[in-house]
Structure 1
Amino acid sequence: MILTTALVLSALPLAFAQAGQAPYKRDIACTTKSIRKSWTDLTKGEKQNYIDADLCLMSLPPKSGIKGATSRWDELQYAHAAQARYVHNVGAFLPFHRYFVTVHEHLLRTECDYNGPLPYWDEPLDVGNITRSSLFTGEPSFGGNGVGSDNCIADGPFANITLHFKEDLNTTDYCIARSLNDFAFSGAARTNVDACLKHDTFVDAWRCLEGNPHNAGHGGVLGTMINILLSPGDPVFYLHHGYLDRLWWEWQSRNLSMRLTDVAGSNTPEFTFPPGGFPGNGTGPPFGGFPGGNGTGPPFGGFPGGNGTGPPFGGFPGGNGTGPPFGGGGGFVMPAPDKAFEDHFNDGGNVTTLSHTLWSAGIMENVTIADVMNGEEGFVCADYLL
């Protein structure tokens, strides 16, 4: 197991108690809503301004006191990696990522002068031809596929960006990696999305959205994006989770009076991360029979070979700077359980409630799930243009 307890404990007094540098606070009055738009609907100038703002965060020095961080971008990646166990396959999955996307947006606007729409990736449009997506081709874009044994992206504005945090929260230098894969991306099909939106309860909708739609975005990009802890290193992460947040808001809006308070689930993962890697039959969690739900063959139906050998994925392309994806050929290894996190959820037990604390390692103030349930008010303050 990767041991992160000591590192996380050292961060908790800073973040949960809000000691040290005071984090930014969002205007909870929500006087001016930010606009959420598909990347394809942005003008060329808006696209360039957004990319420039992300590059700005990658160049700004850290401010939150996180050991090892060299930039604001590093701090965002750390905030996700340090609590990965508690924001995936748990009731807080959708609320946390709505909060996290908003934290990223706030930094873009307050520190990098970005004033355009917040883009999301309308993923069903690119099913079957991910390499031709406007996200990865044309000018401007996020750059294309990875090359070489490490699958480092070789073109575009992020080709020479160096990431730093590893799964154990120590640091090393590595690139943003991608290995675009249509088979893995097939779970993003609109039929799968529509199936999720038909569910009546939060628990069923969350589990469905965290299945095919969520995992298709990560799996279709691969490289850095497939690493559950480190995926925010690739700026595509925020457009992917902006899209998932839009889907959750679309589900909420179909019965808003009821669904603004509908949250449930557990605060610890609903399955155990096995020390030898993910289950091989592709059924159930973590990826709901990813992609497409058929769960045939080796994990995820068997990915093409790369520089990894053996399980998982039968030789899955690597390139995240810490060996093949998921910690090496033996499978993905999550951080060990950490009581320091569990004691600060404020739910009074293991069931996720509206009082649940959402944390960003001191980058912004802690909020509760209740603070982000209405995406068009309060902390989030967005117009999703449904």
Structure 2
Amino acid sequence: MARLLSFALLAVSWLSLFGLVSADAVNDLFKKSKPNLDAQLAKSKTCTKDKLEVRKEWGDLSATDKKAYIAAMLCIMQKPSKLDKTKFPGAQSRYDDFVVVHMNQTMSIHGTGSFLTWHRYYTWSFERVLKEECGYNGTQPYWDWSKWSADPEKSPIFDGSDTSLSGNGEKINHKASAMTGAPAGNGGGCVKTGPFKDMVVRLGPVSPAVDPAPPRNPRTDGYGSNPRCLRRDISNYLSSRYLRTQDVLGLIQNSRDLATFQNVMQGAGGFGGGGMGVHSAGHFTIAGDPGGDFYTSPNDPAFWTHHGEIDRVWTIWQLQDINTRVNIVSGGTSMMGFGRQQSLDDLVDLGVVGHKVYKIRDLVSTVDGPFCYTYDT
């Protein structure tokens, strides 16, 4: 049996190398693992099949559903912030509240044991606020990178239509990315198409990776008010190399343990180092300001579909072996490698955007704790 499994994984690796993996390979893997999802549901104390919500890929949503999600996002951008104005003067909306929470915890939620659970809860909390404060009736969509890896600009997410999350930035003269090695794309300037063409970015920058550099924030911590346009530099340079079906399938099939899965997902040496994982590649495919700043990246509306896919891929990986891949944690408590090892009893606190404070162990399954959702196939 072990030899057969090793042969199967080797075959996937060779097929991936030559780009011969079926476009539906990841979905097929998910379909085959449905019995494990049913087993999780049967043991859940909080989620049942009749309550189970299904998240869909952006391109599979109807125009009506896309517009409902967009309207809810625009709605929370108009709702007043719940943060202390003296501490966070740049946070003027409920949307800004989410950005501040991410900024404030960035160094303990990337390259750490809480990366996956924190962002699962964070994305779910965004969906919850859309529902509770702006009347959204749908679920959080995701961006299937592999579907659009050859040309993300032409995807329904970034095509600039009124049912997109807005298009690329205007084409301006700018330099290649020193961080990723990606050449200058066809954008770089302000987004001028789609529902978020008039969006104002106020927070940051903190760690910008964009040319030309955005104006400095009046505060060194990035929390001051620094109004500017949303900028993007979308291209297929990274997506056509790191976000293909074979890349996603290889991540799932070849990661035997959680540490490997997390590190490969974020880049072989962790976030931003030693390689380009799907997490970094997705962010830098969008690029621009604030999408290329990993402190303030949630300020780009596409952040949420990107992290919806991060969560979906983790879910599929978990479902391959729920006995060993669900109630576990791996990694330290600091991105810089300091601190102790993360524990399942460590707390995840999202402050003014969270439902309540949870332990990591409450956030490891999509069908337990506060969660009751899955993904379509």
Per the alignment, residue 60 of structure 1 pairs with 79
Per the alignment, residue 29 of structure 1 pairs with 46
Shift in alpha-carbon separation, 1:377–1:384, aligned structure 2, 3 A: farther
Contact preservation (8 Å) 2:69, 2:136 = yes
Contact preservation (8 Å) 2:152, 2:234 = yes
Following superposition, the deviation at residue 362 of structure 1 comes to: 2.6
User: Structure 2, unaligned stretches of length 5 or more?
Assistant: 1-44, 173-187, 207-220, 268-276
TM-score, length basis structure 1: 0.70
Amino acid at match of 1:215: S
Match of 1:376 among 361, 367, 374: 367
Following superposition, the deviation at residue 148 of structure 1 comes to: 5.7
Amino acid at match of 2:189: N
> In the TM superposition, what whole-angstrom CA distance separates every residue of 1:4-44 from its partner, at most 9, and x where no partner exists?
xxxxxxxxxxxxxxxxxxxxxxxx93463332111111011
Contact preservation (8 Å) 1:201, 1:262 = no
Contact preservation (8 Å) 2:107, 2:336 = no
Paired residue secondary structure (2:251): helix
Following superposition, the deviation at residue 216 of structure 1 comes to: 1.3
Per the alignment, residue 212 of structure 2 pairs with none
Contact preservation (8 Å) 1:153, 1:178 = yes
User: Any residues of structure 2 matched to 1:197-236 within 5 Å, and which?
Assistant: 197-198=252-253, 199-211=255-267, 212-223=277-288, 224-236=290-302
Per the alignment, residue 143 of structure 1 pairs with 166
Contact preservation (8 Å) 2:46, 2:367 = no
Per the alignment, residue 353 of structure 1 pairs with 343
Match of 1:41 among 49, 60, 80: 60
Amino acid at match of 1:38: E
Following superposition, the deviation at residue 131 of structure 1 comes to: 1.1
Per the alignment, residue 127 of structure 2 pairs with 105
Per the alignment, residue 235 of structure 2 pairs with 181
* d(CA) in 2 for partners of 1:268, 1:375: 25
Paired residue secondary structure (1:120): coil
Per the alignment, residue 332 of structure 1 pairs with none
Contact preservation (8 Å) 1:34, 1:118 = no
Following superposition, the deviation at residue 270 of structure 1 comes to: 5.0
* d(CA) in 2 for partners of 1:204, 1:250: 15
Paired residue secondary structure (2:71): helix
User: Structure 1, unaligned stretches of length 5 or more?
Assistant: 1-27, 272-336, 338-348
> In the TM superposition, what whole-angstrom CA distance separates every residue of 1:169-213 from its partner, at most 9, and x where no partner exists?
222112211101211223111212112112111111111112221
* d(CA) in 1 for partners of 2:94, 2:352: 12
Q: Which moved more, 1:44-53 or 1:83-92?
A: 83-92
Match of 1:156 among 175, 191, 194: 194
> In the TM superposition, what whole-angstrom CA distance separates every residue of 1:198-246 from its partner, at most 9, and x where no partner exists?
2111111111112221111111110121110010001100000000000
* d(CA) in 2 for partners of 1:126, 1:104: 24
Paired residue secondary structure (2:368): coil
* d(CA) in 2 for partners of 1:384, 1:125: 16
Per the alignment, residue 224 of structure 2 pairs with 170
Per the alignment, residue 114 of structure 1 pairs with 136
* d(CA) in 2 for partners of 1:268, 1:47: 37
* d(CA) in 1 for partners of 2:279, 2:57: 17
Contact preservation (8 Å) 2:151, 2:236 = yes
1:246 has 2:295 as partner: no
Following superposition, the deviation at residue 254 of structure 1 comes to: 0.5
Per the alignment, residue 251 of structure 2 pairs with 196
Superposed CA RMSD in Å reads 1.8
Contact preservation (8 Å) 2:234, 2:287 = yes
Amino acid at match of 1:360: L
Contact preservation (8 Å) 2:97, 2:352 = no
Q: Report the count of equivalent residues.
A: 283
* d(CA) in 2 for partners of 1:358, 1:243: 21
Per the alignment, residue 288 of structure 1 pairs with none
* d(CA) in 2 for partners of 1:65, 1:29: 34
Paired residue secondary structure (1:134): coil
Per the alignment, residue 99 of structure 2 pairs with 77
Contact preservation (8 Å) 1:181, 1:219 = no
Paired residue secondary structure (2:55): strand
Paired residue secondary structure (2:298): helix
Match of 1:268 among 334, 337, 352: 334
Amino acid at match of 1:142: L
Runs ≥4 in structure 1, deviation > 6 angstroms?
A: none
Contact preservation (8 Å) 1:64, 1:361 = no
Identical aligned pairs, as a percentage? Answer: 30
Per the alignment, residue 258 of structure 1 pairs with 324
1:127 has 2:149 as partner: yes
